[in-house]
Structure 1
Amino acid sequence: MQVAELDLDPPDSSGPARVLSLRPGPGGAPVTAGEVFVLVRFRGRPVATLTGTVPEGTDPAEALAALARERLGGMRAPAPEPYGDLPRTSVVVATRERAGRLARALDSLLAQDHPDFEIVVVDNAPVTDATRDLVEHKYMDQVRYVREPVAGLAVAHNRGVAAADGSVIAFTDDDVVADPHWLTALGAPFAEDPRIGCVTGLILPAQLTTPAQILLESHGGFAKGFAPRTYDPARPPADEPLFPFTAGRFGSGANMAFRTGALKAVGGFDPATGTGTPARGGDDLYAFVRILADGHRLRYTPDALVWHHHRETPQDLRNQAYGYGAGLTAYLTALLARRPALLPALLARLPRGLAHARAMTAHREGGEGVPGEHGTPTHPWPRSLSRLERRGMLYGPLGYAKARRRVRGTPLPWEGR
């Protein structure tokens, strides 16, 4: 399935939307006849995703524009986002032995339209000099290189926090391509609202070339929709009865930013969570809930867009399903271990939480109207993956306990600075 971006002039009373541009997704070829996953923009602003077919012998731009007009109806352009004085921002990218992918990510980060930012690459438990050589030879003074010898994504992120000099710290992965406006959109809410402690953004697939990638995106992928939303612990959302413990609703670690002082105040990321540890994940979820539990607001903005290269093989997807389940219960275990005062709130939500977990891992016959209506009923979620998620949930607390023993007594890298 091809991936493309279609930019339209929003429709008004005088006529239909006008095509401003059609371009392939990151690294893709020009759009041709066939199946297409398309991000629809209105004058550059992301508004929806659609899937459709470009018939042979038709102009792809006009065919997709017609599809957008049919599916989106009278959708209007989103209101302009205010962009005041953007704070100095540090972008932290943790990586391990993936220099080729890292270069692609760094190229997109260096093309950001943000006026004041730095990039810090954290080389996590390296076994070769490939990452150091890439940064020091290709990017020289444009990117800072930091080495973290202890394996684990949360440990690497904490090392990045210690090295960063921005009042805001953004995190992304080495397998993404960032939209040129990503960092500006991610940083703007911090300037607008001093109570914002965390901002997350939109994650879309960079390519859909394998069955595993299409299956993941058919069931929502990492997308959280196209409506901006603010989560305020002082006003718990009525439609989120498990708030704030359904942290996966807030965003993902490939596209998140924190006010530096707020993140340090809650102790950063729990080093016993994350990819590369026995806990398998949960580092981002832990940070989201800690920020909210400390009284800060969390903002989701779809204007902050990155394109993610999904896992490519069935085995990758199986590992991911197990890791998600493990990360979920590992992060909850971490919360209770480090913030026992949250236990009553968690227990009060436990019955609904168990029902939510069962629903989340249930066998699904088809797409569920995921954000942008890009789900498809032709790709059922395998029962084997649901079972792996549940097995991961059972393992998560044990994995966290193992990981915590390994890092116990290790000081945070910014302590004493």
Structure 2
Amino acid sequence: MSSTPAPRPLSVAELDLDAPDGPVLGFRPAPGGPAVVPGDVYALVRLRGRPAATVVGTFAEGEDPAEVLAALARRRLSETATAPRTDAERRAERPASAGREDGRTEKRADGRADGRADGRVESSAEDPVDGRAPAGTPAAPRASVVVATRERPEQLARALDSLLAQDHPDFELIVVDNAPRTSGTYDLVTGKYADRVRYVREDIPGLATAHNTGLAAAEGAVVAFTDDDVIADPRWLTALTEPFAADPGLGCVTGLILPARLGTPAQVLLESHGGFAKGFAPRLYDPAHPPADEPLFPFTAGSFGSGANMAFRAAALRRAGGFDPATGTGTAAKGGDDLYAFVAVLSAGFRLRYTSQALVWHHHRDTWQDLRNQAYGYGAGLTAYLTATLVRSPRLLPALLARLPRGLAHARTMTAQRGETAEGGIPGEHGTQHHPWPRSLSRLERRGMLYGPIGYAKARARTRVRTGSRKAATR
């Protein structure tokens, strides 16, 4: 694997505090994870249930892990509270603009977004400490939750159990069975979950195609997407959908994804390299106000969120054309379906918000080969989605070409081999790369990036053939 020592496994836990300097309210293993054992522990810190930070600590036999981690958490939360506030954080406290009547942001006569140069905002304003919406917050809109799956009924059952336990007052749950080879998913959904989960079959393989099928079947004003290998926090759907009611110009919301297990070197390396986590500061991306600190915007879609935890205003996603069916897992493109959708919605003039209050726990693949496949797939998906964006929206080509030199430098940095950083790096804290990222994985990411446009072209050709065959069969 690498000449460097393999990362040690960590237990994964949740620690709930009454206040940043308050007593421990609760301590337990991550949902679906094993018991916490002496050694290294990665913990989500909650403040009366609200996700607030992550810490890593070590406890020995006979020590109280809750108290060991609580001391680290109080120190970390204190440092966060005293950090200087940026102009962007202060601006986030101002109410979101209502935008146009159709929900999109205003554009100048020449077609470019008008406004400030620093629209990406990170708020330091505290959410309610009990995790509930403040008085006067508009009710979460009716939602449809779509889970695309293929031949993983045991994992799917675990995900569905957590989704059916959501506190959202009005939602439907749709399972899209993608190119099934057996009846396992059908039997599960129509048996154990009959009358509680809708079953939809999609025979054309590919995650984007499955998501489009779910979108077509959805009846909710907001459509949320997650994967069959997650466990959703009970407030996940409410936290993910409430922002749509407060901001009519919002087209997409993404949320926090944390690891449910860190028991193998592959899982630890993935999380340390960035994983899926995007931190705890809420952020707003507005195409009318491109962020000054992201010169590649909106093509830095990987910073917006991930497909395991995303929701769209249904009308906005449909107006943007949905997902590109030639992208995503299950196609020759390998991935990029979520990134394409983020950019498509932003390009249509809608805003995108990230909130850490919408939490899912993700069960990472656990083998070295899985990690190799993911590294290659991430690289391929990145350039595949960029290719898809230009093919379907040629008007964005000048903007992409203007950002290309910086983009290539950024890609080289992100796929570089990395060594150890100073102590204190936290697996899952985006960008820390606390554990070394092997050269072999860097090479795979870059090979994937070279392959991405080819993979997209192959997938697009296959999609045309399948679509043509489907139309012919229905005549």
Structures share fold, TM-score greater than 0.5: yes
Name which of 446, 450, 458 aligns with 1:402. 458
Aligned partners of 1:84, 1:372: CA distance in 2, in Å? Answer: 32
In 1: Cα distance, 2:431 partner to 2:380 partner? 25
Report the equivalent of 2:349: 295
Q: Helix, strand or coil for the counterpart of 1:7?
A: strand
Deviation digits for residues 350-391 of structure 1 (CA, Å, limit 9, x no counterpart): 010000010010011135856875887762100000000000
Identity of aligned residues (%): 74
Taking the aligned partners of 1:329 and 1:374, their CA distance within structure 2 comes to: 21
Query: Equivalent of 1:201, from 247, 255, 268?
Result: 255
Contact 1:219 1:367 in 2 (8 A): no
Name the aligned partner's letter for residue 159 of structure 2. Answer: A
Of 419, 430, 435, 1:365 maps to 419
**Any unmatched runs of 5+ in structure 2?**
1-9, 82-124, 471-475
Shift of 1:29: 3.8
Number of matched pairs: 408
Distance (whole Å) between structure 1 residues aligned to residue 428 and residue 194 of structure 2 = 40
Structure 1 residues 370 and 347, CA gap change in structure 2 (3 angstroms): farther
Partner of 2:185: 131
Residues 1:265 and 2:346 aligned together? no
Counterpart position of 2:14: 5
Distance (Å, rounded) in 1 between the aligned partners of 2:317 and 2:421: 36
Which amino acid is 1:67 matched to? L
> Which one of 125, 128, 142 corresponds to residue 196 of structure 2?
142
- Gaps of at least 5 residues in structure 1 are none
Cα deviations across residues 321-362 of structure 1 (Å, max 9, x unaligned)?
Answer: 000000000000001100000000000100100000100100
Amino acid at match of 1:307: W
* 1:79 counterpart residue number: 127
Shift of 1:213: 0.3
The one-letter amino acid of 1:398's match is: I
Where does residue 168 of structure 1 map in the other structure?
222
Matches of 1:367 and 1:374 in 2, distance apart?
14
1:238-267 Cα offsets, whole Å, 9 max, x none, are 111000001000000000000001111111
Query: Is residue 10–residue 42 contact of structure 1 (8 Å, CA) maintained in 2?
Result: yes
Q: Do residues 58 (structure 1) and 63 (structure 2) align? A: yes
**Do the aligned partners of 1:124 and 1:151 also contact (CA within 8 Å) in 2?**
yes
What is the deviation of 1:60?
1.6
CA contact under 8 A between 1:226 and 1:371: conserved in structure 2?
no
Pairwise CA distance, 1:3: 0.4
5 Å-filtered alignment, 1:225-304, equals 225-304=279-358
The whole-number CA distance in structure 2 between the counterparts of 1:375 and 1:6 is 23
Structure 1 counterpart of 2:54: 49
Give how far 1:407 is off: 1.2
What secondary structure is seen at the aligned counterpart in 1 of 2:192? Answer: helix
Equivalent residues of 1:50, 1:372 under 8 A apart: no
Q: How far is the alpha carbon of 1:224 from its aligned partner?
A: 0.4
Return the alpha-carbon distance in structure 1 between the equivalents of residues 173 and 263 of structure 2.
30
Q: C-alpha deviations, 1:176-230, integer Å up to 9, x for none?
A: 0000000000001100100000000000001011110011111221100100000
Q: Find the counterpart in structure 1 of residue 449 from structure 2.
A: 393
Root mean square deviation of aligned Cα: 1.8
1:279-318 C-alpha deviation (Å, 9 max, x unpaired) = 0000000000000001000000000000001111000000
Instruction: Tell me the TM-score normalized by structure 1.
Output: 0.94
Quote how far apart the aligned CAs of 1:234 are: 0.3
Confirm or deny: 8 A CA contact 1:51 1:374 kept in the other structure.
Answer: no
Equivalent-residue separation in structure 2 for 1:373 and 1:319 (angstroms): 22
Query: Measured at CA, do residues 348 and 299 of structure 1 come closer, stay the same or move farther in structure 2, by a change above 3 Å?
Result: same
**Take 1:377 and 1:257, find their aligned partners in 2: how far apart are those partners?**
28
TM-score, normalised relative to structure 2: 0.83
Instruction: Give 1:49 deviation, angstroms.
Output: 0.7
Q: 1:17 aligns with which of 17, 22, 25?
A: 22
Point out 4+ residue stretches in structure 1 off by more than 6 angstroms.
374-378
- Contact 1:367–1:375, Cα closer than 8 Å, also in 2: no
